[in-house]
Structures are given as structure tokens and as C-alpha cells.
Amino acid sequence: MLGALEQRIAAVIADRLADRAHLSVDVAPASLLPPEPDAAALKVNVVEVAHDSAFQLDRFGSTGPPEAPRSRRVLPLLCAVRLSFRGCPADDTAVAAVNARRRLLEDVALTAHRLDEIAAEPALLAPLGPGDPGFRVSSFGLETGEIGTELDAECLAAALRYQARVHLWPPDVTHEERPIRAVDTIAEALPARIVVTTPALPAGATTEVRIAIGAATRLADPASGARTPLQLALTVLSDVPPALRGSVVSGADGPQSGVRLQAVTPPETVVTYQAPDGPIDAPRLEYLAVHLATSDGAPGVFLGSAPLRLLAAAP
């Protein structure tokens, strides 16, 4: 993604500077610029990235034909792009150094002038070939420039810094879009009332956790109106690794690791939590997090949580 962006910027610059026969354009670390006599090189590098916090409506991009649209989540970034120039005199005379600097200044000026077209039309940075590049540039503009005045390793150096506003995404990763055929409403007061029978537990002990949920079913088939039992997705949150945590022993394992599914039984659903079997060296808190389960068994809407205090073993 970023590599493809960097390469595309270099290709566009090379096309626009094709008449500068002495100047090579490539993507490489600036430290690898060749100090060849009477030669010049321009290296393109993405040197910084930051999240673009500006308000944007298009955090999701669309692709595919209208009859079968697909969407993807995009990451908005601000990318700093550095163009590093290096020009070397033909020999070690003062005249050659002056000529090399004059040519370097012209290279910098022409590059900035010709890239100004990109600032007006950033779509020119879109790749020409087929396939998903994983990026889209919405703006590209010059920020600052610096031009050296002394020889460094027998060459003169300069740089231009551009800012690109970019949408980034994993190539060829999209999700099918389908029409919403029905809306099913489940009305519950949040956070849900959750009562722990025994809130402080030694190792291996169990307790009931009562969760007040009034709804019992959810829509399963819009065409027939058939409904299916509503389920809770239950997880245990803790500061220790999952293998050392307590667990929910009622219900059944969900498709996601660490998620337990249990059918809702109004007016109260009784969940059984068990403290970890191993010795508890120091008192700590764990939390039972309660979500409505989605149709595919993943945690959905957060309903609330309950603290569970684990007691250390007696010395």
C-alpha cells in the first residue's frame, strides 16, 4: 500500500522530468544516492504518516457494479513525502561547483512547478494498471523545501517536502453489500440490571450472575416472520492472560475464542461464573461483560458488566 504509493509518485515525477537527461528518479533511501561526477539523482520516500483527523464522510469506500456493490473500510492518512535531490559537480573546480548548484536549483524549481499540476488534480497519482493498489490520493501539495549551500561528500543536496492526503486499505479486501430487508427492534433499558450473588470468590468457587433482559426472541426470517431465541455473548475481562482468568461455565462456546453464548430466559437470565482454579497470589478484579449476541454468535450491543473480586489464598 505505502510502497505502491511511493512507487507511483516516483513514476509520475520521472515522467514529468523526462527531459532532464542528467537526473535519475527512483525510490531508495536518500543515503544511497550515487555521488557520481556530473550526475544528479532524485529519490522519493514516504517519511512520515499520521492519522487524518479531519471530518470525512467517506470512511468507507465503494467498489463493484451498482447491481452488486461491495464496500471496504479505509484508513485516512496524512503522508509526508520527501523528494531528496543530490547533484555532483563534473570536477573539483569552483566553476564546476557553481554549475552543479545552478543545475540543482533548476531541477528543484522544475520539479516543484511540474508537480503543481498534481496539486490541482491529485487523481493523476492513480495507478494506470489493473488491480487494486490499496490507496487513493485526494490531495498532494508542497509544504517546504531546503537547499544546501555547501558540498557534502563532493555533492550538493536539496529536498522538497510534500503532504499527501491518502485513503489506505488492504488491496482486494472488500465486503459484500446487501439490502436491509427488515428492522427488528429490541427495547431494553441500559445498562442492564446485573446482580452477582457472591461478588467475592476464592479460587475455583462459582457464583450465579442474574441479568435482567425482557426480550426473548429476535427476527430470523423476514419473509416468514419466524423468530429465534435471543442469546447473550459473555466474556470475562481481566488484567491477566485468558488462561489465568475465571470463566463462564453455563451456556456454550461461541465461534469466537473466549466468547460464551447463552440463551435469554426472561425475566432473568442466570449465568454461572467460576473463579480460576489456580492459586490467586494477590486480590484482583475481573469483569463479566454482557453483550447481545449477533446472528453469527459475535458480541453485539453492549448491555453492561459486573465486577467479580477474586480473593488471594490464605498465607
**Do 153 and 198 share a structural domain?**
no
pLDDT of residue 50 exceeding 60, the answer is yes
Q: What is the pLDDT of residue 307?
A: 97
234 in any annotated domain: yes
Q: What is the pLDDT of residue 173?
A: 77
**Do 232 and 118 share a structural domain?**
no
pLDDT of residue 33 exceeding 70, the answer is no
Q: pLDDT tens digit string along 216-271?
A: 898 888 888 899 999 999 999 999 999 999 999 999 999 999 999 999 999 999 99
Task: State what percent of residues in the chain have pLDDT above 70.
Answer: 94
CB atoms within 10 A of CB 24: 16
In this prediction, residue 18 has a pLDDT band, given cuts at 50, 70 and 90, of very high
Domain range enclosing 277: 194-310
Indicate which CATH number applies to the domain containing 18.
3.30.2000.10
**Do 143 and 23 share a structural domain?**
yes
Domain count, the chain: 2
Task: Give the length of the chain.
Answer: 315
The residue to which cell 492513480 is assigned: 126
Mean pLDDT of the chain: 88
**Do 119 and 40 share a structural domain?**
yes
Q: Please name which of 299, 288, 297 lies closest in space to residue 252, comparing C-alpha atoms.
A: 297
**Do 238 and 127 share a structural domain?**
no
Range with top average pLDDT, 33-42, 100-109, 115-124, 125-134: 100-109
Q: What is the pLDDT of residue 199?
A: 95
Rounded to an integer, what distance in angstroms lies between the CA atom of residue 149 and that of residue 235?
63
pLDDT of residue 34 exceeding 60, the answer is no
**Do 202 and 152 share a structural domain?**
no
In this prediction, residue 31 has a pLDDT band, given cuts at 50, 70 and 90, of low
Q: pLDDT tens digit string along 265-314?
A: 999 999 999 999 988 889 999 999 999 999 889 999 999 999 999 999 87
**Do 151 and 26 share a structural domain?**
yes
Residue 309, SS3? strand
In this prediction, residue 189 has a pLDDT band, given cuts at 50, 70 and 90, of confident
Last residue of a domain, one of 176, 208, 226: 176
Mean pLDDT on 43-65: 76
Indicate which CATH number applies to the domain containing 214.
2.60.40
315 in any annotated domain: no
**Do 16 and 141 share a structural domain?**
yes
Q: What is the pLDDT of residue 55?
A: 54
Mean pLDDT on 195-201: 96
pLDDT of residue 10 exceeding 70, the answer is yes
Q: pLDDT tens digit string along 110-129?
A: 999 999 988 888 888 888 87
Bridge partners of 264, per DSSP, are: none
- For the record, the C-alpha cell of 37 comes out as 561526477
Rounded to an integer, what distance in angstroms lies between the CA atom of residue 302 and that of residue 188?
11
Q: pLDDT tens digit string along 157-183?
A: 899 999 999 988 888 777 777 777 788
295-to-181, 227, 278, 299 alpha-carbon distances in Å: 15, 12, 35, 10
Mean pLDDT on 87-100: 88
Last residue of a domain, one of 176, 210, 240: 176
